[in-house]
Amino acid sequence: MTIHLHEGDLPADVDLGDVIAVDTETMGLATARDRLCLIQLCAGDDEAHLVRFPRRDRPYGAPNLVALLADPGRLKIFHFGRFDLAAVKHWLGVDCAPVYCTKIASRIARTYTDRHGLADLTRELLGIELSKTQQSSDWGADQLTEAQLGYAASDVLHLHALKARLDVMLAREGRADLAQACFDFLGHRVALDLGGWPEVDIFSH
């Protein structure tokens, strides 16, 4: 695994292809309160590009990264994209699309379990143990530790492989269209989160 750390934006000469794994690290779980600190990107190889943001007013202004996230010709793979999409919408001002979410795919394909965490998926589908020990660390620090960088990178390195495995299961169970409809709706779900309906099921009675 090779980690490239960039400050403030993705360099213009980095080409990550048409299917890009994306993850974010923030100061916490409240999107409007807890700033976006880091975005991790991977093209499906063993290289991770990490873009670090110092504290600044929003929108941050990262034109190369924003163009990539908004590019309709590039599919962005997330795990629990609902959180990451809200963070990039709030802090970068970008509507990220089109998207694929391995957590949604897992919930729709793997109905035999309620374990849909990223570490659960990599363990069962890929035989890889992911460490989650740095998950709650200080992502706003001036210097990120080697452990933090390795953890952040590991969160995007397996998403392409997980997507491949989950797509096979979705097709086998006849649920690929349902999953795709959910991916297509995810941006609207995020708009509801940010607009004041964060924990309301608008479809409920």
Where on the chain is the footprint of Mn ion (CB under 5 A)?
Answer: 23, 155
Beta carbon nearer to Mn ion, 25 or 170: 25
Shortest Å, Cβ 51 to Mn ion: 13
Question: Least distance (Å) from Mn ion to the CB of residue 152?
Answer: 6
Task: Provide the 10 A C-beta neighbour count for residue 21.
Answer: 27
Going by C-beta distance under 8 Å and a sequence separation of 6 or more, which residues neighbour residue 93?
A: 58, 59, 66
Please, which residues have CB within 8 angstroms of residue 83's CB and are 6 or more apart in sequence?
24, 29, 31
- Minimum distance from residue 154 beta carbon to Mn ion (Å): 8
Between 68 and 153, CB nearer to Mn ion? 153
Closer to Mn ion by CB, 154 or 179: give it: 154
Nearer to Mn ion, 155 or 193 (CB): 155
- Closer to Mn ion at the Cβ: 79 or 165? 79
In the complex, residue closest to Mn ion by CB: 155
Strand partners, 52: 7, 38
CB 60 within 8 A of CB 36: yes
CA distance 195 to 129: 37
In terms of CB distance, is 8 or 83 closer to Mn ion? 83
CB of 165 to Mn ion, least distance (A): 20
C-alpha to C-alpha distance for 176 and 180, rounded to whole angstroms: 6
**Cβ atoms of residues 59 and 3 within 8 Å:** no
Q: What is the rounded distance in angstroms from the CA atom of residue 203 to the CA atom of residue 205?
A: 7
Closest separation between CB of residue 138 and Mn ion, Å?
A: 14
Closest separation between CB of residue 23 and Mn ion, Å? Answer: 4
Quickly list DSSP for 179-199.
Answer: HHHHHHHHHHHHHHHHHT-TT
